[in-house]
Amino acid sequence: MKNTILVVGSVALDSVKTIHGSTDRALGGSAVHFSLSASNFSPVKMVGVVGQDFPAHFSRFLSRRNICTEGLQVEPGRTFHWVGEYDKDFKNATTIATHLNVFQQFRPCLNKDHARCGVLFLANIDPDLQRGVLKQARTSRLVACDTMNYWISLKRRSLLKLLPDVDLLFVNEEEARQLTGEHNLIRAARIISKMGPDAVVIKRGDSGAMLFYGGETLSMPAHPVEKVVDPTGAGDTFAGGFVGYLASAPDWKNFAALRRAMAYGTVMSSFSVEDFSVRRMGRLSKTEMCRRYEKYVSALRVS
């Protein structure tokens, strides 16, 4: 179980509109986007909750992608449903409706197999729930975590209690600045590191991402995408590629491994935005992934 990843987060039905079309109640959620990316590198076990309206073919689809869904609770009611629309340059998403439904009462409970997983990813959920999961999975060799501005504002004290027990934290630019009160991202990352995480990754959308670890700093550009169709879940997909690679690595605690993880995360997120929902990730092959990764890292080398 050393290389198996446990992810705890949201499973949703998303209705999204962009300049390229729309979807209605398509498969989504932080745990889903993360898992579909990470499962290309390591086995994944998912813990989440859905309602009785959750299509059975979605569960079968996840299982075919090397994702164990035994921890997917089915509760009376309807599945978490997000309705959103992106502007023409995809810089901003407007939330039209958020129906938490059964997700509002989600209380993650791990079984013995879940608790033995070597890698834990706490997807973007209430920090109180994240802390509860962490107490049930104390043997993880790597604990990674994501959060959002809502939790930083509403549950800051709980989040600060969580961070000392987290090895790797993912935040975006806005969240890094909100959490620290520091506009400069390098200084913000140093402040976050003092809060507990050994490594900090700041996601910057189409500007790429920055990694901070052991006094080292790395800025990596986004992979060029000719046609962005739907950016929903791109950040979770990035985290999935990043953590998925680290789970398969013999030792994640070195800058070289983290640098490769950054590249894999970047490449995986570039695939996810090429179609709506999880369609592109669902048909992604290992050959395509490896080919794009090699071209990307080759382009980064400067003689």
Over range 286-293, report the average pLDDT: 96
Write out pLDDT tens, residues 63-89.
999 999 999 999 999 999 999 999 998
pLDDT at 2: 83
Asked whether residue 248 carries a pLDDT value surpassing 90, the answer given is yes
Over range 166-194, report the average pLDDT: 97
SS3 of 172-200: the string is EHHHHHHHHCCCCHHHHHHHHHHCCCCEE
Using alpha carbons, list the distances in angstroms from residue 20 to 16, 27, 86, 114, 283. Answer: 10, 18, 10, 39, 19
Backbone φ and ψ of 284, nearest 5°: -70, 135
Over range 106-125, report the average pLDDT: 95
Pull the structure tokens for residue 286: 């290992």
Asked whether residue 11 carries a pLDDT value surpassing 90, the answer given is yes
How far is it between the farthest Cα atoms of the chain?
Answer: 60
Backbone φ and ψ of 131, nearest 5°: -65, -35
Q: For the range 280-283, what are the long-range contacts, defined as Cβ-Cβ under 8 Å and sequence gap of 24 or more? A: 281/33, 281/36, 281/37, 281/237, 282/36, 282/61, 282/65
Contact 20, 135 (CB under 8 A): no
Of all residues in the chain, the percent with pLDDT exceeding 90 is: 93
Asked whether residue 303 carries a pLDDT value surpassing 60, the answer given is no
CATH number at residue 208: 3.40.1190.20
Of all residues in the chain, the percent with pLDDT exceeding 70 is: 99
SS3 label, residue 210: strand
Question: 222 exposed, middle or buried (CB, 10 Å; 0-12, 13-18, 19+)?
Answer: buried
Asked whether residue 138 carries a pLDDT value surpassing 80, the answer given is no
**Residue 64 lies in domain:** 5-300
d(CA 172, CA 193): 15
pLDDT at 121: 98
Asked whether residue 42 carries a pLDDT value surpassing 60, the answer given is yes
Select from 72, 95, 212 the least CA-distant residue to 150: 95
Asked whether residue 141 carries a pLDDT value surpassing 50, the answer given is yes
Residue with tokens 């975006």: 172
pLDDT at 302: 53
Over range 240-248, report the average pLDDT: 97
Asked whether residue 274 carries a pLDDT value surpassing 50, the answer given is yes
Q: How many domains does the chain have?
A: 1
